[in-house]
Amino acid sequence: EPEVTQTPSHQVTQMGQEVILRCVPISNHLYFYWYRQILGQKVEFLVSFYNNEISEKSEIFDDQFSVERPDGSNFTLKIRSTKLEDSAMYFCASIPQGAAYEQYFGPGTRLTVT
């Protein structure tokens, strides 16, 4: 069964640096999402993306964050100037074309900001 993949699995960066997290959704999926999970806390919605546009974003998703699908396959989340509080697991999710509402999650990228 095809899976959502994410790279890197672990990223360590210094405060103020830019990071790009990458996701390869399952090939026929059309709806894409980013979530994050701070250690010991709930999984939180960041943004949804459909037809090359942001369809919804949360309060967390401020001007420091951006998403794009540069080549029709990879789906990226960029954090422009990282803060200590950005340290978290970041999950990409997607929904297959024609499916109901089940979001399938990738394995996550653990971001550590020092």
Partner 1 sequence: EDQVTQSPEALRLQEGESSSLNCSYTVSGLRGLFWYRQDPGKGPEFLFTLYSAGEEKEKERLKATLTKKESFLHITAPKPEDSATYLCAVQGLLGGSEKLVFGKGTKLTVNP
> Which parts of this chain interact with partner 1 (CB under 8 A)?
4, 31, 33, 35, 41-45, 48, 55-56, 58, 89, 91, 100-108, 110
CA 108 from centroid of its chain's CA atoms: 8
Q: How far is the CB of 13 from partner 1 (least distance, A)?
A: 19
Q: Look up tokens 């401020």; give the residue.
A: 62
Q: Are 48 and 25 in contact (CB under 8 A)?
A: no
In angstroms, the CA 93 to CA 47 distance is 10
In angstroms, the CA 8 to CA 97 distance is 26
Q: Which residue number, 67 or 108, has a Cβ lying nearer to partner 1?
A: 108
Q: Which residue number, 18 or 56, has a Cβ lying nearer to partner 1?
A: 56
Q: How far is the CB of 16 from partner 1 (least distance, A)?
A: 27
Of 108, 111, 112, 71, whose CA–CA distance to 93 is shortest?
Answer: 108
Q: Which residue number, 13 or 103, has a Cβ lying nearer to partner 1?
A: 103
Q: How far is the CB of 47 from partner 1 (least distance, A)?
A: 9
Q: How far is the CB of 108 from partner 1 (least distance, A)?
A: 5
For residue 102, give the DSSP letter.
P
Q: Which residue number, 61 or 79, has a Cβ lying nearer to partner 1?
A: 61
